Each structure stands twice: as C-alpha cells, then as structure tokens.
Amino acid sequence: MNSLFRNLVTAGCSLLAATALTVPFAHAEKIGNCELSGEKGSVPIEPAVAGQLTVETNLPAPGWWNGDSPDTIKDGYEYCMAANMAYLAGLDKLKVVNVSFDALVAGQTKDFDLALAEISITPARAKVVDFSVPYFDSDIGVMVKKGEDFDPAKLKDMTVAVMQGTTGAAFTAKNLHPKAEKVFPDMGGMTTALMANQVDAIIHDTSIVLGAASQSNGALVVPDQYSTGESYGALYPKGSKNAKAFDKMIETMKKDGTLDKLAKKYLADAWGADPTKIPYIKP
C-alpha cells in the first residue's frame, strides 16, 4: 500500500472552526508526547505569526491527531510531525487549528504556515495551493460493519458515504457508480451514518478508515481497498516563502527514520492491522 509500511513490514467554502490550541514547548526534548529529533533552529522559516508554527488540520483523525479537538491533542503521526518541524524551525509555540477540509484544499483558509490533514496531492488542488514533497502513500479503502460482506459487484445496489472534497469522493463518482452517494463533511459523520445503517459502506482513504475501525471496538472493519497510487503532502499557502525549508525538514525526517518511527508507533501498532495485507480489488 505505501512505502512507509512496506519498510515496516520488511523497515483527505466553510469558515475556520473556532477552536485552536497554542502549545508552549516545555523543554527541548519533547512537545506534547512527541520525541524530537535534529537540531533546534537548524532550518529557520518566516512564520505567519511571529514565534509560532501555525498548522491546520481536519478533525477527527485518530492515529494522525489523537484527540477530537486541538486542546486535547498531544500526539499522533501528523501532530508529532508538526512538532518536529516547529522544533527544527526554532519556534517556541505550536498552534493547531481545526478547519473544514473542503475549504482547506480549495485554498480558502489563511494565516497559517502549513496544513497536515492526510491530503492527497492532485494537479487540481495544486492550482490553488502548494504541496510539499510526499511523506506518505495512500490508497482508497472500504469500511463496513463487522459481519457484513462487501461485494464490489453489488455496489449498484448500495448507498455509500464519501467525504466532501476528497479524492475518495472523486474516485467513487468516477469509478464505482454505487446506487447512491451521501456526502459528509468529516469522518465522524460518515462513521455515525454507517453505524446507524444510513449507508452500507464508507469509501475513503485506507489510512483513515483503518484508524476509524480501530476506534470502533470491533464494530467496523476494512475488508478491501482500491489501488490509486496517491501520496499525502503537506499543504502550503500558494506561493509560500517557506516551501523549500519545509520540504527540507520533511526530507530530513524521511532520511533519519523519524517518519518511519511515527508510522509504526501511531499508525501500524494503533490500527492492529497491516494495510499491505488488506486485499486489493478492482473498480
């Protein structure tokens, strides 16, 4: 499924949400529950707000951001990735802002340095925002209630949930043609609809539905996935003067093993499932 996990097996216009959190760094070795690597201040930037790194995301995103609101998040893959980037930039505050995913990828949010929200890099999105080098590969997974078989041949009789503005929604509309699609603004709404039998399945990033399934106490499962060849990238405001510096940070974290460690600790172990073992099916 993705290069990070292959290495572990062998080494996705609304206003900004009102909630945000500014976290002072307690000491040089940790931010929240995140271990830090590299040299503080070795890759300086010009932040949107002086003295802090402002990072946008879309919640909930278990495994990536562990908590339902900015003030409850202390760790997760992307939270700790952001913490490491702030540290490398030499900044003493990390501000997390919860925003609409649809507005984010449409370039409608502002006053931030970067966004980390499991965002697939696409040419259409790159017209209005900029992307980093890829940091994670992702395909499209199917999530259903435990005990209910998923048969791709019966999609024409199924109602599926997709998330507004995502590549999963675009993939479903273009390739799968279910009986009906219900569009939701976030993962929480899709999961609630599935549990209430309002939809038969959720079509969304494998890396995200696995996180949701792991939080369901066994009620939800991810039986299949579709190969798309997508990769996640950090999203920058169009024309960001910090793009090269952030790319350097990401490449450094890839090379020194930081991202592999975060993937193992916050994704693979938390999911309890190896995404490379989930069967691939064809549209």
Which amino acid is it at 160? V
pLDDT per position as a tens digit, 134-165:
999 889 999 999 999 899 999 999 999 999 99
3-class secondary-structure state, position 159: strand
Structure tokens at 121: 């890099």
Statement: residue 97 has pLDDT above 70: yes
pLDDT in tens, 44-83: 999 999 999 999 999 989 899 998 899 999 999 999 999 9
In what helix (H) or strand (E) does residue 279 lie, and over which residues does it extend? none
Mean pLDDT computed over 174-191: 95
C-alpha neighbours within 13 Å on the C-beta side of residue 262:
28
User: Residue 276 gets which letter from DSSP?
Assistant: G
Please report where in the chains the tokens 């697939």 appear, as a residue: 120
> What proportions of the chain, in percent to the nearest 5, are helix, strand and coil?
35, 30, 40
At 7 the pLDDT is 39
**Pair 89, 47: CB distance under 8 Å:** yes
User: pTM for this structure?
Assistant: 0.80
Give the tens place of pLDDT for each residue, 206-260.
989 999 999 899 999 999 999 998 999 999 999 999 999 999 999 999 999 999 9
Question: 227 phi and psi, to 5 degrees?
Answer: -80, 130
- Rounded distance, CA 186 to CA 199, Å? 15
Report the mean per-residue pLDDT for the chain.
89
Give the pLDDT score at 93.
Answer: 87
Say if residues 64 and 118 touch (Cβ distance below 8 Å): yes
Residues in the chain: 283
The span from the CA of 150 to the CA of 270, in Å, is 24
3-state secondary structure of 65: strand
Query: What is the distance between the terminal CA atoms of the chain, rounded to a whole angstrom?
Result: 17
CB contact set of 269 (below 8 Å; sequence gap of 6+): none
Largest CA distance in the chain: 56
Residue 100 reports pLDDT greater than 70: yes
Q: How far apart (Å, rounded) are the C-alpha atoms in residues 12 and 169?
A: 10
Q: Looking at residue 274, what is its pLDDT?
A: 76
Peptide bond connecting 60 to the previous residue in cis, omega within 30 degrees of 0: yes
Strand ranges inside the chain, DSSP E: 20-24, 30-31, 34-35, 52-57, 93-98, 114-115, 129-145, 159-163, 180-184, 201-205, 220-237
Q: In a 10 Å sphere around its CB, with 0-12 CB exposed, 13-18 middle and 19+ buried, how is residue 51 labelled?
A: exposed
> How far is it, in rounded angstroms, from Cα 276 to Cα 95?
34
Span 177-195, average pLDDT: 96
Structure tokens at 148: 């209910």
